[in-house]
Every structure is written in C-alpha cells, then in structure tokens.
Amino acid sequence: MKPHIYTLDNGIRIVHLPVNSMVAHCGLIIGAGSGNEESIEHGLAHFTEHMFFKGTERRKSYHILSRLEDVGGELNAYTTKEETVVHASVLSAHFERAVELIHDIVFNSTFPTHEIEKEKEVIIEEIKSYRDNPSELIFDDFEGIVFQNHPLGRNILGTPETIKEFRKSSITGFIQKNYSTGRMIFCSAGKMEPGNVFKLAKKYLESIPERSFSKTSTPFTGCSGVTVTRNMGTWQNHCIIGNVAYNIYDRKRLGMFMLNNILGGQGLNSRLNLSLREKNGFAYNIESVYNPYTVTGVFSIYFGTDKDHLEKSIAITHRELRKLKENSLGTLQLSRAKNQIKGYLARGYENHENLMLSMGKSLLVFGKIESLEEVCSKIDSIKAYELLEAANEIFDTGMISTLIYK
C-alpha cells in the first residue's frame, strides 16, 4: 500500500491510501489545537470543534447528524493540544457524501448564538463528568504541573468560567488566527481510485481561500521535579510519576517509545505490569504514556492502588526506572523489545481509519509519510546504549515529578 499525495493551489494537502475494503474513511486534520489558545481562550479549540456540528448555511444540526447516519456511516471529531480533526467512515458508494459534509461543517458553519449557549451547558457538563473521573483528571493535572504556565499545561476542555465567556466572535477569531490552509491535510483510505479522490478534493476544497501564516509555538524552558499530593476523597490512591521528554522532532523519540513500551505499554508482560500487578497484586490499572509535542514532550507512569500499598508501589516503580538507567539491555532483551513494538505497529496498520489519520498527521508534522518497512528499519537500528542514555536523561531522579490523589 503506497499513499498518493497531492497539493491544492491554496496549500491544502491531500493524501489517499488505496485499500481493498467496502468501507471508506476520510478526514480533515487542522494543525491547531488547545496549545494555540491564549489564556482567556482556554477550551476554545475544543468548543469550536463542537460547534462545527451545530449548523451551516444550508443545514441545521439535525441534518448534519443524520447525513451519514442515514446510510450507516459515522461522523466524528476530536481536539488535541496541537490538532483539530473531523473525520468520517462510510460505505465506499457514499464517499462523496462524507467529503461534502466535512467541507460544509468546517468551512460553512454559521455558529448560531442559541446553539452556542446550549453547547456551553453541554461542555460544562462534560467538564463535571471528567472531574468525577480521577484516573482521567490526573493526567491533565500532571501536565499542568510539569508544563507549569505553558499552554500545553492547560487541559483541552477548558473551565466553566472560560466557557461561559465564549461568543461567536471568539470562535471566528480563533479560526481566523489559527486555521491556515497550509496546515490542513485531507486524508482518506478506501478502494477509490486516487485520481477520483483528488477530483473530489478539488471540487470541495480548492475554492477555500488560501490563508497562510507561520505557526508560532510558545517555547518551553523546562521544569524541576516536584511532588504534589491532593486530597480528592477517592476510594483508591491514584499516582502519576513522570517528567518532560523529547519533542516529536527529536531523533531519540523512537527510543523513548520503546522504553515506554518496555515499562508499561500495552503488553501484559511490561515490567510494571509484572512487578506491580502480577507479582505483588498492588494495582489493577498500570500504564505508561509518552506524548511528544512539537516543542517538548511528556512521559508518565500511572497506577491506582490501595492507600496501604501506595508507598510500596512508588518504590517499585522507581526501582524499575533505576534498572533501565543502570543496566543496558542484553541482545535478547533488545531484540524482544524491538519485535514487540514492530508487531504492535504492524497490527495498527490493519486499522484503516487509524492508519489514515496517522498518515495525515505525519504529513502535517514531518511533510512526509514513512512506510511500515522504513519505520521498522529505524527501530532495528536502535542501539542498547541509546536506550540507556535516554533512560538516564528522562528518568533523572532530580527531574522526576509525582502527583498523588488521595
């Protein structure tokens, strides 16, 4: 499978991956998210994404929601700290219907005032629901600690106080400042011919006026390790241990992905799962996460445990980090780690929707799309000493931060 890439005159890039499937996927990735917000705009990128579904010049909210549902398809969207994405999945016969709808809601939304007021209440309820889930809340709280006053430290949803202040002018102003056509990727996957996909893209997207400006990211100067305990009244104690990490352009990021997978990735044989859950029975949920952003990244280990096991669990976690700092992986260990992560990547390529979105983000961030073989070749080239160096940089005891919910 080889992706086909085309660039419209207005700067919007098109990437299509031919796959033999009855289902077609498509999406528009916009290189603007919550990290582009000013402090008074906290939550505005996510709010804007919600408002895409609330009415256009030719459709009301009901007609937007029904357009793909009526033919068994799905329309969805999400906001990250650096992207806003609207995507759809339909039978191939209805592919144009999906393309036209995405174009309509992103570029022709009218943001009706009465819908804005209703959506404020919806999102405030979403915030309340999120605050009731400590295992989710703690991740954003942790990023707020390590990123301090940087825009990446603010959660994506915003606060009830900032949400209540949004107006139509807030939304249109955010779009005007941040939605550059040069940072838009239309991606698709399906059995459609690339030439036909490009024709549809031109039909619906080429008339969009070019808007091009340099993306400015707030620099991040780093942080020192801190320990914070919050009394949340939870049944379990929840804990996150972590540090800032490599940005998405750093050559060490692949090694960091591997270290993350060794420690607490999706495999049941991860070191933390074996030591905390299988050996000691201290935790049910254990995971480690590495999120690279454009200016920095964050690495974190999360677990929930009984209050009587908290200190022991923290000690075990630090012991596993120390092992990776002090002991280089042997030949067999390194080979297993590489084979595991390559297997996960290969399985991910079988999910055409995720693969399409991954290709789009790669084109947006790096300006190119690497094949699975190229990525696997890079993984194979990682040396044990590189992992040891990365472990000593990121797992530095003096830089590690800890957040505990009790």
Q: Which residues of 104-134 are buried (b: 16+ CB within 10 A; e: fewer)?
A: bbbbebebbeebbeebbeebbeebeeeeeeb
Quote the CA–CA distance of 302 and 289 in Å, as a whole number.
8
**For this structure, is 389 an active site residue?**
no
Tell me the one-letter amino acid at 403.
L
388 Cβ contact list (under 8 Å, min separation 6): 324, 325, 328, 329
Quote the CA–CA distance of 46 and 211 in Å, as a whole number.
21
Spacing of C-alpha 230 from chain mean position: 26
Element (H, E) at 286: strand 283-292
Element (H, E) at 18: strand 13-18
Token pair 């990525």 is found at 375
**Given 37, 38, 41, 49, which residue is catalytic?**
49
Give which of 117, 121, 124 is closest to 167, Cα–Cα.
117
DSSP 186-246: EEEEESS-HHHHHHHHHHHHTTSPP----------------EEEE----SSEEEEEEEEE-
Residue numbers annotated as active site: 49
